[in-house]
Structure 1
């Protein structure tokens, strides 16, 4: 223990090291990891991540505002913690962040086609270096403009007196002509007189194939500043407000702000990407992904949240509200967030559902039965079936056969016996496969043209020798019939 009463630095490193190693293995080749940390272990975490992910894969350390008031000491108030970002390789899949649209507030004759526009810098905004090719007078509606608004200074430069601090246009004559003719230039009157501004539209991209000149809206995106997260929307105060909208106040402490999680989602994810949060807490990550999917109908991000079943303390606000574990809080937040976003985005087709899975130890008795299993008898031993249950086995196989967690699996009634059909696979998991059920299966293959799964998968523990042989015989009959069905019988244990 340290003098502060917390675990020693070495104990914390031993706790984190294997988890981060596993995290790296789980990352996609173009994936990224974000780790939130305060200043107690930030320096150690940086060294740890350099070792596991490689110094060359360090992207940034974002300081994040926690509370404007801060945790006050006698002299210094601590107002921020950190967010470390690493990637698995040096070729990550990252996306530029769009500016918000608040600056896009002007309309012109191109509004229906291009939307609102915003003003960029003046055309003679200070150049990095002087170029005589960009130092020329412009005439617009009979009025002549000079870089830096000074004809006198322009004439002096033309006589050979200039340096790198002198003004010049940002565009060449040809590009100005192109931009002006296509409506990307406007003259505005301000405190310093008339100035030439360039315009950026919300959705216009104009290109001249002959000259190669183009003006587009690429500057709506920006490199993400590491100071972005020092703004108030990323503070814990706003995180508290976020969670209050769904599960209520004082139910969960130390949740992450929604703005932070959506920022990470925009930076790193697009269609079908998977976001893994293995310290899920109140499920802020889930809500952020749901919000992003509703805002952007073309992308369908997926999330996996992991949380230990940590119990809520008796007498706590969460316990009084009916929650017994942190998992309960997270699930309820997802459910209530779904209702919230269904109202906010009524036309969205985003899938806001989720499935809940529990990791559980298998009993030693069942493990022994699996190791010594023998189905050569006439009596079915359902011990293994009872231990795992239908949902566990079926979900495992659907994932194994590349149907994923979301699929079109449906139940099939075979003379009272329930089978499960998903595209090219028919799963027989339940015990009690009667002769009538097998006859019903054969009849279904022969009569229903749409029913033609080429793989019949059996949970071997649920069937005895007689049932297995009866099924094998009838499958062989189907193969040898006039329909010449190609059916594979797959027995899994």
Structure 2
């Protein structure tokens, strides 16, 4: 029976460096010598694509190398389940994770890499105020627990003020590793939307060029978030707008788009090429700009000559025009003063969808039906504030994003069964929007939200209302508590307003914490005492459920995968994923119980009939000695269950 320890790669969060090296080996095996990369050979293989210049185009700042290294450093934490704070724990496919999103993103790598269709984030804007994302290169879990008040700490919350001299640098160092990890979660046809204002738009564009590749830039969508206000810092300019910066994972991404109206495509002349419609034969260029497109054409039947408009010339050069006239693709009018039209067949359309405009309209703006089909329309932020106040019964959040905004993004980028992620969850708008959009189109999209349990200060006038609200709920004074309460209320409201909707409005709550497995930290002054303390491999204050879900993370299984349990020989045995993983984490298994337990597991495994090889995991300290462990392992392996481990 193999023992899983905290040093085992399989029990750690994803090793991104090792993964990168393996990919490089697959592509360029000849660039490796004795297991190391030979950069001279790699440069030769890459040819002219290697840039060796000292001065290169791109964004650099103090700490970028360290920020990249932080993204590659495995997490020492885990996610502990909290069924008592969840809604529909047994059935829901949604996740609300309380913790530092950097560590959470690391922990999600094995289970969710390449599975997320849409990421929307509204990160802290760089306004010169404090933001609590201080990343510690050595032990971010310890740092996180101290700064969120979960363990005693004398540390001050880090700040990012203009006076610090690192105003942009600190913000970039916070964002860079999170975006690097987020990219790994996206499917190849996935996309990320990032809300941002003027302070960091330019730097964020450069940063996302670096992380996602400039070729995957989709667009910048400006939108008016409020009516003009006299809040200008200088130049008497009111900042009443924000942006959505959009990048794709690859060229496989496409907006779902707006369906074109194809009712004007008919076939009155029984054209064998099928239905067609009249289209413009000119383009918006002048004769001075494009003299090669300025020439007369002749109707071959009536021999009427049609002159070109010098302010709007033909769309095609003369040779191609002659060809399409011969093919019967030009419709000539009987009136010499009329305008020839192009006969566009339905089969010629590259898509039956219209492209979206990057200009976002406010809900109050009146446009014609054609424009409405091309523009996304979002209400002002004040509408979102009013709606959230009505839902919560209190002004808990300032400037929340609009449900309508996120729903529009969701409807244009994701379909039924796909996964949406927001790791700066804030007020929980993304989760609310996923549930609301599912109710509209009867889909079953899922969400993963991550929110830091940032403490609320009742002495701070900007946080007092939110802090008092948490007191009324009898819950800790943190932003994450508000996020969860908003999701609970939103789910109930959606059910009430859509009685025939039977979709998922629940969520599983998990909280970031240190691993359930003891990390080896010897006291060199008293090694005997250290050995005694570490005789139990697992922490004694953790439950079976804590350990079970850490196993799911470490082995790369979905945190909402179906889990069954059965009592065998008086011990609880869990089946995860229809028998893909079978675990018994009972604290004690006697030698007499080991044989009957093994036979019971074999029988249950036969009934489950999993499609792939099953893994069997036990608590190592459960066995009184090696006899019971050896006998149990032998019985399992004799019955085809070879992959037996202990933790």
TM-score (ref. length: structure 1): 0.67
**Secondary structure class of the residue paired with 2:511:** coil
Where does residue 309 of structure 1 map in the other structure?
Answer: 453
Task: Tell me which of 205, 211, 224 is aligned to 1:52.
Answer: 211
Alpha carbons 1:95, 1:266 under 8 Å: kept: no
Out of 220, 224, 229, the residue aligned to residue 356 of structure 2 is 224
Q: 1:4 to 1:327 in 2, by over 3 A?
A: closer
CA distance 1:386–1:229, shift in 2 (3 Å): farther
Is residue 2:619 matched to residue 1:470? no
Secondary structure in structure 1 of the residue aligned to 2:179: helix
Larger radius of gyration: 1
Whether 2:170 is the aligned partner of 1:14: answer yes
Compute the displacement of 1:342 (Å): 2.1
d(CA) in 2 for partners of 1:41 and 1:224? Answer: 25
Superposition deviation, residue 280 in structure 1: 0.9
The equivalent residue for 2:427 is 282
CA shift in 2, pair 1:166/1:88, >3 Å: closer
What CA distance in whole angstroms lies between the structure 1 residues aligned with 2:347 and 2:599? 66
Q: Using the TM superposition, name which of 274-283 and 39-48 deviates more.
A: 39-48
Is residue 590–residue 624 contact of structure 2 (8 Å, CA) maintained in 1?
no
Maintained 8 Å contact 1:380/1:463: no
Question: 45, 62, 65: which one pairs with 2:224?
Answer: 65
CA contact (8 A) 1:412 1:418 kept: yes
Partner residue in 2 for 1:77: 238
2:273 equivalent in structure 1: none
SS in 1 for 2:540: helix
- Is it true that 1:430 corresponds to 2:590 in the alignment? no
Distance 2:303 2:617 in 1: 88
State the 1:99 CA deviation: 6.4
The question of 1:348 aligning with 2:501 is answered yes
Q: Of the candidates 384, 388, 410, which is equivalent to residue 538 of structure 2?
A: 384
Q: Relative contact order, CA 8 A, sep 6+: which one is greater?
A: 2
Q: Which whole-Å CA distance do the structure 1 matches of 2:615 and 2:558 have between them?
A: 18
CA distance in 2, matches of 1:464, 1:70: 70
* TM-fit CA distance, 1:245: 4.6
Give distance in 1, aligned partners of 2:509 and 2:424: 15
**2:480 paired residue number:** 327
* TM-aligned CA deviation for residue 409 of structure 1: 1.2
- CA 1:98–1:386 in structure 2 vs 1: closer, same or farther (change >3 Å)? farther
- Cα pair 1:342 1:348 within 8 Å, conserved: yes
Once the two structures are TM-superposed, the CA of residue 383 in structure 1 deviates from its matched residue by 6.1
1:199 maps to what in 2? none
Q: Deviation per CA, 1:190-232, whole angstroms, max 9, x where unpaired?
A: xxxxxxxxxxxxxxxxxxxxx985699x75x431211125555
RMSD: 4.5
Q: How much has 1:327 moved relative to structure 2?
A: 0.6
Residue 78 of structure 1 aligns to a residue in which SS? coil
Pairing 1:318–2:479 present: no
> Are 1:95 and 2:227 matched, yes or no?
no
Classify 1:31/1:473 alpha carbon distance in 2 versus 1 (closer, same or farther; 3 Å): same
Aligned to 2:565: 411
Match of 2:396?
A: 251
Distance 2:615 2:177 in 1: 39
Q: Deviations over 1:359-406 (max 9, x none)?
A: 123599754389999xx99x9954624254322321132345554222
CA shift at 1:272, angstroms?
4.2
Shift of 1:92: 4.0
Distance 1:57 1:487, change over 3 A: closer
**CA distance 1:438–1:451, change in 2 (3 Å):** farther
Q: Supply the distance in 1 between the matched residues of 2:383 and 2:587 (Cα, whole angstroms).
A: 53
Structure 1 residues 70 and 226 mapped into 2: Cα distance closer, same or farther (>3 Å)?
farther
The alpha-carbon distance between structure 1 residues 158 and 243, as it changes in their structure 2 partners (threshold 3 A), is: farther
1:366-381 → structure 2 map (5 Å cutoff): 367-368=520-521, 381=535
Q: Which runs of 5+ in 2 are unaligned?
A: 1-125, 130-159, 264-276, 285-298, 315-324, 331-343, 365-377
| TM-score of the pair, normalised by structure 2 | 0.53
Cα pair distance change 1:342/1:367, threshold 3 Å: farther
Partner of 2:642: 488
Matches within 5 A, 1:146-161: 159-161=304-306
